[in-house]
């Protein structure tokens, strides 16, 4: 067995299927999108080479709210890192501490992750419905009629209203990753800390969190990348409106390709999203590596 695992040819043979799938499903489409981004093409007719003109349009002559879309995606990144992750960490710490019904709560918190995004989008659309929606009904019921609102129709509230379900959906996902990291810590460490008189919050701050830093790094990267490429819930709930108020780069890309037949321009936005995700991932890894050192 050791000789087999140490044989580089055998290793390459086992890696080849996964590598082939990666090249066909991930790398090849990215390369083709990069090529299409240099064309003036409607997706059907003749292709015309225009170089970086689509990128110039994206950053200089855009009229589709692209810069606002970038700002909106950065706001979602901030909400995910500053709101979603702390809540997920708190839940993971509480559940990993052995509360009654631990398995039940772990399952309940994870349910939104396995639900269809279309279902979640429709569910929250009904919650925000101005006439019979749960949110306005609740506000009217407790005497806060003045706060009742057309949440998805107002440019001032549409953005956050569309982002709340996105943050809510993946709290359980991040929680489960952190929970698994905490459970992997030897129990002897916690027992020694309790014998020494350390309280629960102190154990969490001084022992648990430092020992799961690599897990937290992974969660931060997942949260940031997921926020930068978010599409489905935003499109289902607002389609980027009203007046581009809730646009994100992926909704702008969708509109360019499928509504205006600007395949080259849409491909340029796709490449921008890929590069943006890579840059943020590298920045996070470098920043957290320096902190650990």
Q: Rounded to whole angstroms, how far apart are CA atoms 130 and 121? A: 16
pLDDT value, residue 291: 66
For the domain covering 61-292, report its CATH number: 1.10.3720.10
- Residue with tokens 């501490």, as numbered in its chain: 97
Structural contact between residues 178 and 219, judged by C-beta atoms closer than 8 angstroms: yes
Which backbone phi and psi does 49 adopt, to 5 degrees?
Answer: -75, 125
Tokens of residue 18, six digits: 């996964």
Q: Rounded to whole angstroms, how far apart are CA atoms 232 and 173? A: 17
pTM of the model: 0.88
Return the domain boundaries, the chain: 61-292
Q: Rounded to whole angstroms, how far apart are CA atoms 167 and 80? A: 6
What is the mean pLDDT, run by run of 10 residues, along the chain of 293 residues?
Answer: 63 86 89 94 90 89 82 93 94 89 90 92 93 91 88 92 92 94 91 86 90 92 93 92 90 92 93 94 84 63
Q: Rounded to whole angstroms, how far apart are CA atoms 220 and 280? A: 10
pLDDT value, residue 36: 94
Taken in order 277, 282, 287, 292, the sign of the CA dihedral is positive
């Amino acid at each position: 067995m050791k000789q087999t695992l140490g044989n580089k040819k055998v290793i390459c043979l086992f890696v080849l299927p996964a590598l082939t799938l990666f090249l066909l499903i991930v790398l090849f489409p990215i390369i083709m999108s990069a090529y299409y981004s240099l064309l003036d093409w409607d997706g059907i007719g003749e292709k015309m080479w225009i170089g970086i003109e689509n990128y110039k349009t994206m950053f200089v002559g855009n009229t589709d709210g692209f810069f606002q879309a970038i700002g909106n995606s950065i706001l979602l990144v901030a909400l995910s890192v500053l709101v979603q992750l702390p809540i997920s960490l708190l839940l993971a710490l509480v559940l990993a501490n052995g509360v009654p019904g631990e398995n039940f709560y772990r399952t309940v918190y994870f349910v939104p992750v396995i639900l269809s995004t279309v279902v979640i989008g429709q569910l929250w659309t009904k919650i925000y419905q101005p006439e019979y929606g749960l949110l306005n009904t609740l506000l009217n019921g407790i005497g806060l009629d003045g706060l009742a609102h057309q949440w998805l129709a107002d440019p001032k509230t549409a953005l956050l209203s569309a982002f709340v379900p996105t943050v809510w959906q993946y709290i359980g996902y991040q929680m489960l990753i952190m929970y698994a990291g905490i459970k992997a810590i030897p129990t002897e460490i916690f027992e020694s800390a309790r014998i020494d008189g350390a309280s629960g919050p102190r154990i969490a701050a001084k022992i648990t969190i430092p020992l799961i830093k690599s897990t937290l790094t992974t969660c931060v990267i997942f949260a940031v990348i997921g926020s930068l490429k978010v599409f489905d819930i935003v499109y289902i709930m607002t389609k980027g409106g009203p007046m581009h108020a809730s646009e994100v780069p992926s909704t702008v890309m969708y509109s360019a390709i499928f509504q205006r037949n600007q395949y080259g321009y849409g491909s340029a936005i796709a490449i921008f999203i890929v590069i943006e995700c890579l840059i943020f991932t590298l920045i996070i890894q470098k920043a957290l590596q320096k902190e650990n050192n």
